[in-house]
A and B are shown apart, each in its own frame.
Chain A
Amino acid sequence: MTVTSSGTGSGTVTYARNESLDQKPQQPWARRTPEFRLINLVAVVVPIAIVGLLFWYTPIPAPILVTIIYFPLQLLAALWAAWHLRGRKSTPDAVVMVLAIGFSIMTFVILGSILFSIAIRGFQALSVGFIFQNSLYISPSTPLGWGGIGHAILGTFYIVLIATLIAVPLGIGTAVYITEVKGRFSAYVRFFVQAMSGVPSVVAGLFILTILIYNGLFSQSVITGALAYTILMLPTVARTTEEVLKLIPEDLRTGALALGSTRARVVLQVVLPAARTGLVTATILGIGRVVGETAPLLLTALSNDQTVLNPFNSTTASLPVYIFEKVALPFPDAVARAWGAALTLLIIVGLLFALARVLSVRRFAKK
């Protein structure tokens, strides 16, 4: 019911909601005029048509067609459309748009073709047995269908897990020292962490090999592989965490301090929880940094055909080393297994990232 009265003066009063007004939420900014649609269609279709005709009737190779002919044509078409629809001032918009879309498509094509080629080649080796069995008694010439990479998957998991357990607390601790404690040495620590991120992975492996293995402290095993990975993970985790902590507004810290909190409690109960999503990201980036590293494991974990459970006493298989060894063998089935392992590694990494994303989003939403 509505009562709108205009009494004395110029004012109006509404006493209740206008229930009779029947409106649906709309997004008028998404509406387009027919002219806009037509011109956009022309601007997209014409360059494609021209390039299609050229591809069909001339011997110009496709990459040259796309980069030298299609791209400039599309740019011109977008410029024309923008000029026609919204005037000269909007032409830079059109250029930026074409470049942005073009580069995203290029990135997508590059990534897509890598994924596609690995999937095509790796697909034939994949089977349940391939995922869960180990390679004991399997020779390079054994046909597909026998044996698998279960031991290598487990080895990679094992090594990455231990490396993560060591590197993440260390990395977060380092970042907290740099950004929260702001100790006397933070500048030096930051510099060293930065320098450390430049350490080549093979050097990390050599370091573990000469310091821990040649000195007889450890034998080549899961733990030495994990320590080599830790060296590589640490700077990534520390630097990402540092960046994340820097983004936490200073008001939060002063707010907590003003409630009589100690510095340690500010960090543990206010700053780190606020940076939770970022910490997950830092961990993922750290894992992503190491999970495909081959060189350090070649020096510190070697390989194995058996499943290894004890992290200390035996060399162990891992996916990257498995791929490295098998892909160079002169047997098609061994090469197919290597591609299968590559595909598996890719899928594992993808699942891991997806999981971490879901976890961070869900936790964030709950509180």
Chain B
Amino acid sequence: MSVLDPRDDVSTAQIQAVEEVFAASESTPKKNVMETKNLSVWFGTRKILEDVNIEFPERSSTALIGPSGCGKSTYIRTLNRLHELIPRAALAGEVLYNDEDIYAPEVDPVRIRLKIGMVFQKPNPFPSMTIRGNVLSGLKLSGMKKPDHDAIVEKTLTAAGLWKEVKDRLNHAAGELSGGQQQRLVIARALAVDPHVLLMDEPCSALDPASTLKIEETIRELAQEMTIIIVTHNMQQALRVSDHTAFFLAAENEPGIVVEQGETGTIFSNPKDERTLDYVNGRFG
């Protein structure tokens, strides 16, 4: 007898209760893992970004789109305090991670970067290390002690969609891998330290469609468990992998602003702003 059988009145009541809980959980907004409030960014006196307000809910993926030079990469680098490594960099406003301002003076940037991982545009595996060594390098570099390295290597490489291709040559040099494989390797490397947030700065821009597809699958799976923030120039990619989208735009000689943001479906099918409509339809940028 099925649980859904209406003849069983006890179970009907239970089902109703469960459905109510589900409905409630659907409508409760997810907690924000990261958020920027009135964030403006400068290099020297040149303003790159102005008044960026974006919220990044937990277990979701957000795409940052916009033409080149509008400050997307700069923005993503402020989220894990890599921005400050550039001389003359400056900013104003707040970047919140779990409601804590990551730029507060008592915050250790090392701790922030450990929790907010990053994958860069060009794959950057450490050339002197093996594939296995690269995956575990984050543990070593951050002094993190975790048992069972083999399990971590298998788990993260599987999550990054690379395990099947490299499981027989884990002790080979990372440089032997192709570009797409290297990029998946650095994703696995970023996952091995168990970050809460993963920033991706155009992770597929130098890759072929097959590798791109694999990485996109990986991103969608990861977004079930963590927060993904991805910069992309590829509109289809944003549509495929993200729940939310923010559209950045900079007028000539002016700082970049977020023109429109919202659910990815809305942004692409029914944007409110004409510029967004033009951009997502490939009319400029």
Contacts and interface: CB of A to CB of B under 8 A. Distances in A.
A27 B84 contact: yes
A9 B273 contact: no
B272 interface: yes
A7 interface: yes
Interface stretch (B18-26, B86-94, B164-172, B230-238): B86-94
Interface string A207-233: 000000000000000000000000000
Contacts of B259: 13-14
B157 interface: no
A18 B255 CA distance: 11
Given A11-B260, A13-B272, A33 B105 contact: yes
Given A9-B262, A11-B262, 17 more contacts: A7-B272, A9-B263, A10-B266, A11-B267, A12-B262, A13-B276, A14-B51, A14-B259, A17-B50, A21-B38, A21-B40, A23-B38, A26-B90, A27-B91, A29-B109, A89-B142, A90-B108
Contact of A14 (B103, B254, B255, B260): B260
Contact of B273 (A15, A17, A87): A15
A10 B266 CA distance: 9
A157 interface: no
A21 B53 CA distance: 13
Contacts of A17: 50-51, 254-255, 257
25 contacts: A7-B272, A9-B262, A10-B262, A10-B263, A11-B267, A11-B271, A12-B261, A13-B272, A13-B273, A14-B257, A14-B258, A15-B273, A17-B254, A17-B255, A17-B257, A18-B51, A21-B40, A21-B51, A23-B51, A25-B42, A25-B47, A27-B84, A33-B106, A36-B106, A86-B110
A26 B147 CA distance: 42
B38 A29 contact: no
Nearest to B53: A12
A18 B91 CA distance: 16
Top-7 shortest CB links A-B:
A11-B262, A25-B90, A23-B92, A28-B103, A25-B42, A29-B84, A31-B105
Contacts of B38: 21, 23
A14 B40 CA distance: 15
Contacts of B260: 11-14
Nearest to B114: A89
Contacts of B106: 33, 35-36
Interface of B: 38, 40, 42, 45, 47, 50-51, 81, 84, 89-93, 103-106, 108-110, 142-143, 254-255, 257-263, 266-267, 270-273, 276
Contacts of A67: none
A23 B47 CA distance: 11
Contacts of A58: none
Interface of A: 5, 7, 9-15, 17-18, 21, 23-29, 31-33, 35-36, 86-87, 89-90
A25 B91 contact: yes
Contacts of B105: 28, 31-33, 36
B267 A27 contact: no
A89 B114 CA distance: 13
Contacts of B257: 14, 17-18
B153 to A, nearest CB: 23
A276 B50 CA distance: 38
Most buried by B among A26, A28, A89: A28
Nearest to A87: B108
Contacts of A13: 259-260, 272-273, 276
A97 to B, nearest CB: 14
A89 B103 CA distance: 20
